[in-house]
Chains A and B, each alone.
Chain A
Amino acid sequence: MDLQTLGQLLNTTLVFSTALIFAALGGIFSERSGVVNIGLEGLMMFGAFAAAVGGYYAQDAGMGAWAPWVGVVCAMAVGVIGSLIHAVASITFKADQTISGTVINFLAAGSTLYMVKLFFEGAGETPLLEGFKKVPVPGLSKIPVIGEGIFNSYPTTYLAIVLVIVIYFVLFKTPFGLRLRAVGEHPSAADTLGVNVNKMRYIGVMLSGLLAGIGGATITLTTTGTFAHNTISGQGFIAIAAMIFGKWNPMGAFGAAVFFGFSQAIRNYVQLFEWSKSIPQEFIFMIPYVLTIIVLVSAVGRSAAPKALGEPYDPGKR
C-alpha cells in the first residue's frame, strides 16, 4: 500500500465520519441536558431530505456553488422543527424520552418519503443534485498523506472539525455549557440556582436537531447526491453509539465517529491489503463492531451518562 492510497483512505474515512460527527455532537447537546435522543436517525433523515429538496430547488434557480449551502440551511431548519416534536412530548408533556425519540424516527421515515413522492410526482427518490465539491486548503494540501487525506476535503468536513473544538469549549468553558450540563446532572439544584430547566432542555434538544440535520445533509450533499429510503440506514444509531463510546464528550465522540467512518471506508480498500485476502470479507466488515465491544469491555468500563438522563423534570419532586 503506497502513501497515496493511505491518503485516499484517510480522506474517505473523513467523508464517512463527517455525518456521524455532526449527529453525535447533536446527541451530546440533547443528552447533556438530560434528554435521551434515540431520534437522531430520524433527525438525520429530516436533514438529508431537506438538503436534497432545498439543494435541488436552489440549483434549479441557478444558485450554482451556493446551492448546497441552501440545502444545509434547509436541513438545519427542518432538523430543528423535527426535534421540537421530541421536545414538546418529552419535556412539556413528560413523555418517556425513548418513546418520543422513536416517534421521531417513525415520523421522519414516513413523512420524508411521503413528501418526496408528493414533490416529485411519485418518484421514490429526489433528483440527483451536484452537492459539495472538495476544497483543497492552499499550501497545506501539498503535505504528503495528510494533505491528500485531511486538507483536500468537503467544506462540511472542515466545519465538523471546527465544531468539535467550538462545542468542546462551549460545553466545558462557558456559563451556558455549565448550565446545560447542570440541568442534565441535577435539575433541581440547577432550578434552585435560577436556571430555567425546561428552557435549557428545549435548547439542548433543538441544537441536537440542528446538528443532526446538518449530519443528514452531509450525506446527501457529499456521498449520495439524492435522498431515498435507504439514504440514512442506521447512521443515526451509529452516531448514538459514537456518542456513548465517546462518553458524551465532543472530543471522544469525534474519535469514535472517525473510528466508525474508518470502518466504512476500509471496505473500499480491503482488496489492497495482502493479508486480508484470505479472510472472508464478512469478518472484515465485523471488525469495527467487535472492536467497539472489546474496547468497551477492556478499557472504557462503566459509561458515565449524565445523571438525570431520561428523567422528566418535575419541580414538585425534590
Chain B
Amino acid sequence: MHRLKKIFATDSYIVPIVAIIMGFLVGAVVMLIGGYDPIAAYSALFKRVFGSPYDFGEAVREMTPLMFTGLAVAFAFRSGMFNIGADGQVLIGMTAASVVGIKLAGTPSFLLVPLAVIAAGLCGGIWAGIAGYLKAKRGINEVITTIMLNWIALYLSNYIVKHFLLLKGQNRSVDNPASLSMTFLNSLFDNARVHWGTALALCAALFFYVFLWKTKQGYEMRAVGLNPHAAEYAGMNVGRNVVKAMFISGAFAGLAGAGEVLGVFHYQSIFAASPGYGFDGIAVALLGLTHPLGVVLAAILYGMLTYGSAGMSFGADVPPELIRIVIGSIIFFIAAQGIVRWVLKPFYFKRKKEKVL
C-alpha cells in the first residue's frame, strides 16, 4: 500500500515530464515530415530565449499574463466551473486600469498605481461574477455566458477607449501615467519590458494556494467543485461559493490586463478581435494540472516556447505555428495519461522487480 502511494506521488511529476518530452518528440516528427531539421529548430528556440538579456526579459514579459490567466482558469476549474471568459475579463481589467490611470493622472504614483491595479482586479472580478451569479441564481451554463461576455467586453472596452481615452487621429489611448515598469531592471535587460506584474502574478499564485488549501472558505470552494450536491447537503451555500469563485477567477484575469497596460504597453489600443489571452490561459491551466505551482511552471514553459518560436522561424526556417502542435501534444498526453502510463509501464515493472529482489 505504501509503495503504491509512492508511485502515485512520483506520478504527479513524472507524467508531466514524460508528456513534455513526448510533445517535443511529436514536434520533431512533424518537422521531419515537413523536411526541417528539428535539432536546429529546437536549439534556435532556446537560443532565442536565453541568447540575450533583452530576449530573456521579453520572454519573462510573455509569461506574466499567462500566469494570471492560467491561475484564473485553474481557480474556476477547482471550483467546478469552466471559465472560457478570461479573455473578456483581461480586456475589462485593461480598460479599468487605463481609465483610472489616465483619468486620475496627477495623483501621486504611489497612490495611482495601486488604484489602477485594484480597479483592474475588481472590474475583472465583477465581470466574471456576472457569469457566476447567473449560474448560481438561474442555473445558466457558464460556458455560454462567458463566451457572450467576451464579446460584450470587447465592444464595451473599444467603446470606452474610443470615446474617452483616444489620442486624436490614432487607434490607441493616451499614454498611461501609472506604470508598473521596473526601471532599474529595464536598463539591466536592455530595455526589455519587464514589470512588477510578474511579482504580482507570483503573489497571486501563492494566494491561490493558501486560500484554497489553508482556509475554510477555500475548503468549501473545493468541496463545491468536487461535488456540489454533497457540499449543499453538508450545509454549504453552493450559489455563494460559485459567485465568489468566479469573482476571484476574474480578478486574476483582470490583473493580467493591468500588467499589460501598466507594465508593457502603457496605452490601450482598439481591438479588432479578441486578443486571445483567455485561450492561452486555458492551455496553461491544463498544462499546470490546475495547481498554482503547476500553473506557474506551465506559464514559464508556455511563455518560453511561444517567445522562442519566433527564433525557430528565423534560425531554422520552421513556421512558428509548429510550437502550437508541441503544446497541444503535451496537453494531449497529460490529459490522456493512459498513453503515458502505457509508455512508462516497462519502467515501473522493472523498478518493482528490483525491489522484490
Residue pair A296, B144 in contact (C-beta under 8 Å): yes
- A301 with B156, Cβ < 8 A, contacts A117-B319, A117-B321, A245-B144 known: no
Residue pair A302, B139 in contact (C-beta under 8 Å): yes
Question: How far in angstroms is the closest Cβ of chain B from A104?
Answer: 8
| 9-residue interface stretch from A70-78, A157-165, A206-214, A233-241 | A233-241
Residue pair A106, B328 in contact (C-beta under 8 Å): yes
**Contact pick for B155, options A107, A122, A283, CB 8 Å:** A283
B34 in the interface, Cβ–Cβ < 8 Å?
yes
Residue pair B155, A285 in contact (C-beta under 8 Å): yes
- A103 with B332, Cβ < 8 A, contacts A114-B325, A118-B34, A283-B159 known: yes
B147 in the interface, Cβ–Cβ < 8 Å?
yes
Question: How far in angstroms is the closest Cβ of chain A from B345?
Answer: 14
Residue pair A102, B140 in contact (C-beta under 8 Å): no
Contacts of B319 in A (CB 8 A): 113-114, 117-118, 122
Question: How far in angstroms is the closest Cβ of chain A from B340?
Answer: 10
| 9-residue interface stretch from A15-23, A92-100, A178-186, A218-226 | A92-100
Contacts of B155 in A (CB 8 A): 282-283, 285-286
What is the number of residues of chain B that contact chain A, defined by CB distance less than 8 Å? 48
- A297 with B34, Cβ < 8 A, contacts A96-B335, A238-B147, A292-B148 known: no
Residue pair B325, A303 in contact (C-beta under 8 Å): no
Residue pair A110, B324 in contact (C-beta under 8 Å): yes
Q: Could you give, for residues 300-339 of chain B, a 1 whenever the CB lies within 8 Å of some chain A CB and a 0 otherwise?
A: 0000000000000000000101111111110110111111
Residue from the set B84, B283, B336 with the largest chain A CB neighbour count within 10 Å: B336
**Contact pick for B335, options A103, A118, A293, A305, CB 8 Å:** A103
Give the residue name and chain of the A residue nearest to B161 (CB).
A282
Residue pair B140, A297 in contact (C-beta under 8 Å): yes
- A106 with B327, Cβ < 8 A, contacts A114-B319, A245-B144, A293-B145 known: yes
Contacts of B332 in A (CB 8 A): 85, 89, 95, 100, 103, 107
- A100 with B335, Cβ < 8 A, contacts A292-B144, A296-B138, A303-B139 known: yes
Contacts of A233 in B (CB 8 A): 273-274
Residue pair B282, A102 in contact (C-beta under 8 Å): yes
Residue from the set A99, A117, A240, A245 with the largest chain B CB neighbour count within 10 Å: A99
Question: How far in angstroms is the closest Cβ of chain A from B157?
Answer: 9
The B interface, classified by DSSP as helix, strand, loop or mixed, is: helix
Give the residue name and chain of the A residue nearest to B35 (CB).
A118
Residue pair A88, B328 in contact (C-beta under 8 Å): no
Give A111 to B33 CA distance when docked, in angstroms: 12
Residue from the set A94, A95, A113, A283 with the largest chain B CB neighbour count within 10 Å: A95
Give A94 to B151 CA distance when docked, in angstroms: 33
**Contact pick for A290, options B30, B152, B322, CB 8 Å:** B152
Give A230 to B140 CA distance when docked, in angstroms: 30
Residue pair A107, B328 in contact (C-beta under 8 Å): yes
Residue pair A89, B336 in contact (C-beta under 8 Å): yes
Residue pair A89, B147 in contact (C-beta under 8 Å): no
Residue pair A280, B163 in contact (C-beta under 8 Å): yes
Question: How far in angstroms is the closest Cβ of chain A from B12?
Answer: 16
- A286 with B152, Cβ < 8 A, contacts A89-B336, A93-B336 known: yes
Contacts of B325 in A (CB 8 A): 106-107, 110-111, 114
Contacts of A302 in B (CB 8 A): 138-140
Contacts of A88 in B (CB 8 A): 336
Residue pair B335, A244 in contact (C-beta under 8 Å): no
Give A290 to B273 CA distance when docked, in angstroms: 18
Give A216 to B324 CA distance when docked, in angstroms: 20
Residue from the set B30, B82, B151, B279 with the largest chain A CB neighbour count within 10 Å: B151
Q: Could you give, for residues 45-77 of chain A, a 1 whenever the CB lies within 8 Å of some chain B CB and a 0 otherwise?
A: 000000000000000000000000000000000
Residue pair B144, A107 in contact (C-beta under 8 Å): no
**Contact pick for B162, options A234, A241, A282, A301, CB 8 Å:** A282
Residue pair A280, B144 in contact (C-beta under 8 Å): no
Contacts of B134 in A (CB 8 A): 293, 296-297
B143 in the interface, Cβ–Cβ < 8 Å?
yes
Give the residue name and chain of the A residue nearest to B140 (CB).
A296
A289 in the interface, Cβ–Cβ < 8 Å?
yes
B286 in the interface, Cβ–Cβ < 8 Å?
yes
Contacts of A85 in B (CB 8 A): 332
Contacts of A296 in B (CB 8 A): 134, 138, 140, 144-145
B215 in the interface, Cβ–Cβ < 8 Å?
no
Residue pair A95, B321 in contact (C-beta under 8 Å): no
Residue pair A110, B322 in contact (C-beta under 8 Å): yes
Question: How far in angstroms is the closest Cβ of chain A from B42?
Answer: 15
**Contact pick for B159, options A106, A237, A280, CB 8 Å:** A280
Contacts of A83 in B (CB 8 A): none
Contacts of B147 in A (CB 8 A): 237-238, 240-241
Give A244 to B327 CA distance when docked, in angstroms: 29
- A303 with B328, Cβ < 8 A, contacts A96-B335, A102-B283, A241-B147 known: no
Residue pair B158, A103 in contact (C-beta under 8 Å): no
Residue pair A99, B331 in contact (C-beta under 8 Å): yes
Give A30 to B325 CA distance when docked, in angstroms: 24
Residue pair A110, B323 in contact (C-beta under 8 Å): yes
**Contact pick for A305, options B141, B286, B331, B336, CB 8 Å:** B141
Contacts of B139 in A (CB 8 A): 301-303
* Pairs A-B, 7 closest by C-beta atoms: A110-B324, A106-B328, A93-B336, A282-B159, A95-B335, A93-B338, A113-B321
A to B CB contacts below 8 Å, 5 in the list: A99-B331, A107-B328, A118-B34, A280-B163, A305-B141
12 extra A-B contacts, CB within 8 A, seeds A233-B273, A293-B149, A296-B134: A89-B335, A95-B336, A102-B331, A103-B331, A106-B324, A111-B321, A113-B319, A117-B319, A118-B319, A280-B159, A280-B163, A301-B139
